[in-house]
Amino acid sequence: MGITESVVADMILKNPCAWVAVDNENIIGFSMILQDEGCLFAAFVRPEYENKGAGRKLVMAAEQELFKHHDVVWLETDKNSRAAKFYRHLGWGNDAVINDVDIRLEKKRRAFCNSILRKES
């Protein structure tokens, strides 16, 4: 895919495109976007930190930056993964089948704003 350490380092230097979650100075997760493409490229949390809110915060930070530049953002994931269920829970949808394994999910800016409002109430 052409993803090397130098490519990732260059992306991070050029744009706000990566976030990390930390617990007691240990990195427990990260998210990363492809800003020009409007893509949530990655979001991962160490298994022992799942279901504690770090993943949601990482995705929301990525979404916030993406929605500064795009009305609709997207990601790709395994259609049968826990990640797909997680993203749908966060308001991602409009599933499009890529192949036998992967799907593309989208989220609109309006859905993001509505999720922020629900969280604040």
Q: Are 119 and 96 in contact (CB under 8 A)?
A: no
* 85-101 pLDDT tens trace: 999 999 999 989 999 99
Q: Are 59 and 67 in contact (CB under 8 A)?
A: no
Residue 30's pLDDT band (cuts 50, 70, 90): very high
On the question of pLDDT at 29 being above 70, the answer is yes
Tokens 């953002």 belong to: 73
For 14-34, give one letter per residue: b (16+ CB within 10 A) or e.
Answer: eeebbbebeeeeeebbbbbbb
What residue type is assigned to position 21 of the chain? A
* Both structure tokens of 56: 């949601």
